[in-house]
């Protein structure tokens, strides 16, 4: 299934910031991710008080326990990797935006294939974790999202206070 043409990043940011509350914003993020990647459905998990919580889902359900465990393990590995490397590495200017780290596709107990991605952004030289998206993929997987769109998503969630810069 071809992905829909995404909004301009500044319009995406404005649209997300204009949402009435964090729940509406998370739903709008999920809708954007699903339509832009050609996914069938998905979940957005956001970092709240150091824990991942399901902030939006396509079918208004919780992420299956097996997948939630995998998301938490991925989250822990990502945080450890950034904490270690941020103390010692020199950043390339191309790394100073946000990132949506791709991982190997997961298969749920129902046989469904999922594409998990860690959402986060660099502000200055500090990595700020945002959350994880878990998108239900069609047979061929999902399409990539351009960096400026990821920047808009991460910045909107941070600027609205839906996630916090806990490293500040």
End-to-end CA, the chain? 41
Q: Which CATH class is domain 9-159?
A: alpha beta
What is the token pair recorded at 156?
Answer: 């909107």
Tell me what the mean pLDDT of segment 119-128 comes to.
Answer: 87
> How many other C-beta atoms can be found within 10 angstroms of the C-beta atom of residue 64?
16
Burial 10-38 (b: 16+ CB within 10 A, else e): eebbeebeebeebeebbbbbbebbbebbb
Q: Over 60: is that where the pLDDT of 32 sits?
A: yes
Q: Alpha-carbon distance 117 to 127, whole Å?
A: 15
Q: How confident is the model at residue 95 (pLDDT cuts 50, 70, 90)?
A: very low
Tell me what the mean pLDDT of segment 143-168 comes to.
Answer: 86
Q: Is beta strand 51-57 parallel, antiparallel or unpaired with respect to 98-102?
A: unpaired
Per-residue confidence (pLDDT) for residue 6, from 0 to 100: 65
116 forms bridges with which residues in the sheet?
134
Kindly list the domain boundaries of the chain, sorted by start residue.
9-159
């Amino acid at each position: 299934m071809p992905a829909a043409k995404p909004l301009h990043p500044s319009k995406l940011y404005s649209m997300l910031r204009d949402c009435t509350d964090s729940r509406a914003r998370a739903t709008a993020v999920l809708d954007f991710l699903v339509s832009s990647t050609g996914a069938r459905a998905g979940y957005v998990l956001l970092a709240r008080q150091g824990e991942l919580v399901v902030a939006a889902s396509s079918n208004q359900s919780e992420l299956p326990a097996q997948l939630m465990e995998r998301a938490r393990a991925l989250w822990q590995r990502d945080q450890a990797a950034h904490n270690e490397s941020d103390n010692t590495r020199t950043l390339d200017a191309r790394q100073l935006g946000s990132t949506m780290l791709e991982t190997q596709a997961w298969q749920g107990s129902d046989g469904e294939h999922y594409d998990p991605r860690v959402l986060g952004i660099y502000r200055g030289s500090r990595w700020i974790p945002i959350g994880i998206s878990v998108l239900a993929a069609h047979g061929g997987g999902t399409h990539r999202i351009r960096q400026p769109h990821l920047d808009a998503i991460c910045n909107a969630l941070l600027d609205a206070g839906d996630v916090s810069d806990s490293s500040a």
